[in-house]
Amino acid sequence: MFGTPCYRMADSESDLIPHDPEPRVGLPPGSVVFVGEDRTHSVEFRVLEYGPEHLIETTEERVEEVLKYRDTTPVTWINVSGVHDESVIRTLGDHFHVHPLVQEDIAHTGQRPKHEVHDDYLYLVVKMVYFDDRRDGELRAEQVSLLVGERNIISFQEDPGDVFEPVRKRIRNGRGHIRDRGPDYLAYALLDVIVDHYFVVLEAFGTRTENLEDAIVEEAPSDLEDDIHDLRRDLIFMRRMTWPMREILYQLERLDSPLWADTNQPYVRDTYDHVVQVLDLVEALRDTASGLHDLHMTSISNRMNEIMKVLTIIGTIFIPLTFIAGIYGMNFEYMPELKWTWAYPVVWGLMIILAGVLLLYFRRREWI
């Protein structure tokens, strides 16, 4: 599929790779070491072999069963779920003549989205963003590596389950041009569906933002600060995952390679426009999230001002009442009205009238 490799790792070297917290430190370039979160315990292989007139879809359990698809025609899509098993990457990489440095990057799930042009294949790294229902809807990004050859495309992902099912349905149903095109068009279709799913994630962000805004306006509970912080953090994460996709598509649109047909350029340009829209939406949501933080702080400040206003009014009313009570609470023997029969109710009446006058004054001044 991919031609003659420039280098090939010795089996003895790859078998001595240690598994420690910093597994790549001190190892030679091209050492295939898994770096990332182990999201699955097994590796799954899904194979789609298709053309204008035929379709074969199979699931293989062992990597050795996949090797026979290297020279099949016209197009074979091998989807590998699980990159934690270095032996699988080495076996596939050696059999399909993939450079050791590319094999190393496939096993390292912290790669920045990028694309590389080799003599006999294209190597693409993108991020598939989704909400993980198994972790209470946590926003996650999964690395997807694509090896695009003349007749084959191999996709590596970290976990079973993806956003590629619409592409598989198009292949099964023969919709559009996908059955008539080569692996490069399939690679475009996979990139396009990943970008389309960004809009699904952003729609959820939009709903989340509206709910936070309603909660702030209606109640402004203090615990919303954590929710706003989480939203801003997720949006920053979303921007970091999607921004490099713009550069990748820009370069693919202008790519001059026999492995990338010129007929793909209009489609890639359309997906590029979608990525620009995604980035614009992310920036708009980030501005909205910042506005929500300001609105939340303003709402809390207004509530505090209302509380302080009420307390101030209460204190202002009781100041003269306390003054009167303080005077008649002094223990002097000769004080006027002490011997008067109506002194007690008169003092009470005076204090009530005084409090009423103050309340009426505050109301007319629209302080309450």
Q: What are the tens digits of pLDDT across the range 19-71?
A: 444 556 667 887 888 888 877 778 999 999 999 888 999 999 899 999 998 87
The ranges assigned to domains in the chain are 1-176, 307-364
What integer best gives the mean pLDDT of the chain? 85
* Strand 75-81 relative to strand 152-157, pairing: parallel
Higher pLDDT, 206 or 362: 206
Give pLDDT, residue 22.
Answer: 56
Band the pLDDT of 176: cuts 50, 70, 90.
Answer: confident
- What's the order of all strands across the beta sheet hosting 44-50? 55-60, 44-50, 75-81, 152-157, 138-148, 122-132, 114-117
Percentage of the chain lying above the pLDDT 70 cut:
91
Give pLDDT, residue 6.
Answer: 40
Q: Which residues pair with 122 in a beta bridge?
A: 117, 148
Is residue 281 predicted with pLDDT exceeding 80? yes
Give pLDDT, residue 31.
Answer: 83
Average pLDDT score over residue span 85-103: 93
Is residue 12 predicted with pLDDT exceeding 50? no
Band the pLDDT of 189: cuts 50, 70, 90.
Answer: very high
Give pLDDT, residue 98.
Answer: 95
Among 95-109, 211-225, 243-257, 265-279, the minimum mean pLDDT is found in: 211-225
Fold type of domain 1-176 = Beta Polymerase; domain 2 (3.30.460)
Higher pLDDT, 357 or 8: 357
Among 169-183, 200-214, 279-293, 333-347, the minimum mean pLDDT is found in: 333-347
CATH number, domain 307-364: 1.20.58.340
